[in-house]
Amino acid sequence: MTARIVVVGSVNIDMVVHCDTLPAPGQTVIGGTFRKLPGGKGANQAVAAARLGAAVTFVGCIGDDDLGREARAALAAEGIDTAHLAVVSSASTGVALISVDAAGQNAITVASAANATLAPAQVDAAGAAIEAADLLVCQLESPQPAVAQAIVRACRAGVPVLLNPAPAPPAPPAFLGAVDVLVPNEVEAAALTGMPATAFDAATAAEQLRAAGAAGVIVTLGSAGLCLADAAGTLRLPAQQVEVVDATGAGDAFVGALAVALAEGADLRAAAAFAQRAAAVSVTRPGAMAAMPRRGELAGW
């Protein structure tokens, strides 16, 4: 059966400039190519899941502008249900300003705009879809009250919750203990545990976050792979070695693929390995949403 996934999250239009090096504070760097692309962590993860075979419903907000219409069209073109993607007249569509250097690393600044208006009432309007899902996926580019309400609706219906706590919040959210699978990167894991960056240990952070309530925790470590903690213990998985073109959407490719595998019934360790393959493919080509792989592309990885 097709996995049913609801994504509550952000929609942006990405403004991407490629440059040799990322600018330091106060520095101007002359870049090369410029591209305008649909993005946002929530939208990227939704597309990643849809391309891998899931039936995806999206809950979020866009502005009543050309960028919003472009973003909606991009999601609809992937077969994603956008009935709960609300149009907000009081705010513009979210925008991300992205610089990508010659090594494929990036620096991102986001103007949340309409994403910041997502409210619990809108989540409740999508309650039937959440309660019928095999998995709920959330991030923190949306307001925490809306994310909390989505998690409440999912938990009441026995629907598992995957949370990508990005960007890192200033303090651990109150709903952290209601999350089934938590997927931070090392910066986010350090913020959630209060661990100094100079003394960060992924295994310790994963174990602490699991002790906080999540049944499974995956700390993603970029080119160093990941650290996973579940009921069976802690596991390190190395990343597949590929030529990196653009790492902008790698984390979203990982989360979307992880969601599909979990919704299809895989255990966390098998799902993590599947997600690593998707992330590896995504960094070998430019863009975030555009780079999300399809199922057949993962066969040889």
Measured CA to CA, the distance from residue 256 to residue 50 in angstroms comes to 8
Residue 223 known to bind ligand: yes
**92 annotated binding-site participant:** no
246 is in an annotated binding site: yes
User: Is 224 labeled as ligand-binding?
Assistant: yes
- 285 annotated to bind ligand: yes
- List Cβ neighbours of 53 (8 Å cut-off, separation of 6 or more): 2, 3, 260, 295
On whether 43 is known to bind a ligand per the annotation, the reply is yes
Q: CA-CA distance, 164 to 40, in Å (whole number)?
A: 13
- A 10 A CB-CB count for 220 gives 27
The β-bridge relationship of strands 34-39 and 233-237 is unpaired
Residue 39 and residue 288 in contact, taking contact as beta carbons nearer than 8 Å: yes
115 is in an annotated binding site: no
Task: Tokens for 257, please give them.
Answer: 């693929």
Is 96 assigned a ligand-binding role in the annotation? no
Does 282 show up as a binding residue in the annotation?
Answer: yes
What amino acid positions are annotated as catalytic residues? 252
- 106 annotated among ligand-binding-site residues: no
CB 133 within 8 A of CB 125: no
Phi, psi dihedral angles at 285 (to 5 degrees) = -145, 160
Name the DSSP letter for residue 23.
Answer: P
- Is 12 a known ligand-binding residue? yes
60 is in an annotated binding site: no
Q: Which residue has the tokens 């991407």?
A: 16
Phi, psi of 113 (to 5 degrees): 50, -120
109 annotated among ligand-binding-site residues: no
Q: Is 13 annotated as a binding residue?
A: yes
For residue 165, what is the DSSP state?
-
Residues in Cβ contact with 246 at an 8 Å cutoff, skipping those fewer than 6 apart: 100, 104, 106, 283, 285, 286, 287, 288, 291
Binding-site residues for K(+), in ranges, read: 246, 248, 282, 285, 287
Binding-site residues for ATP, in ranges, read: 185, 220-225, 251-252
Binding-site residues, in ranges, read: 12-14, 40-44, 141, 185, 220-225, 246, 248, 251-252, 282, 285, 287
Binding-site residues for substrate, in ranges, read: 12-14, 40-44, 141, 252
